[in-house]
Amino acid sequence: MLHNEARKLLIEAWNKTHNAKEVAECFGVNTSTVYRLEKRMRETGSVETRTSLRGRKPSLSQKDIQNIDCLIQQQPDITINEIIDTLQLHVSDETVRKTILKLGYVYKKKSLHASEQERPRCTAKTEKLGAAYTGERRKQFS
């Protein structure tokens, strides 16, 4: 990969000679590199490396993240799967979970106090009752 300074010198040499083979030999690159950089110079006006276009693109847009934040503020006890269904997101639940954590939310599971718990003395009755635990998402303060 050529550094930005070498790219500028290559274009200057191209502008003086218009001989791609000679310029390529001088800089130790392929002739197609000379043509590609010359084309980029014509189209964009710059031959510098484009570092902003590298890497994996985020799967959630900024608007999606804002919608998730608003939804959690309206419904603090919403689950990740309900968020995905409500906003019709085409991402995994892990992606949404990581986004929620980046927004500063934590999931606090509400445990039932002794007076709120329904504990039958018989194990057969225990299977019939479903423990209804609820939780909320709250902003984590550091």
Phi, psi at residue 25, to the nearest 5°?
-65, -40
pLDDT of amino acid 117? 63
In a domain, 139, yes or no: no
Q: Over the stretch 6-39, which tens digit does the pLDDT of each residue have?
A: 999 999 999 999 999 999 999 999 999 999 999 9
Average confidence (pLDDT) over 75-86: 90
pLDDT of amino acid 62? 94
The full DSSP string for 94-105 is HHHHHHHHHTTE
> In the predicted model, is pLDDT for residue 127 greater than 60?
no
In a domain, 142, yes or no: no
Q: Are residues 66 and 95 in the same domain?
A: yes
Radius of gyration of the chain (CA): 29
pLDDT of amino acid 50? 78
> In the predicted model, is pLDDT for residue 124 greater than 70?
no
> In the predicted model, is pLDDT for residue 109 greater than 70?
no
Q: What span, in angstroms and rounded, lies between the C-alpha atoms of 142 and 27?
A: 53
| % of the chain at pLDDT higher than 70 | 78
Burial 94-115 (b: 16+ CB within 10 A, else e): ebbeebbeeeebeeeeeeeeee
In a domain, 108, yes or no: no
Q: Are residues 73 and 99 in the same domain?
A: yes
In a domain, 119, yes or no: no
In sequence order, the β-bridge partners of residue 138 are: 106
CB 76 within 8 A of CB 137: yes
In a domain, 79, yes or no: yes
In a domain, 140, yes or no: no
Q: Whole domain around residue 82: which residue ranges?
A: 62-103
If one counts the domains in the chain, the total is 2
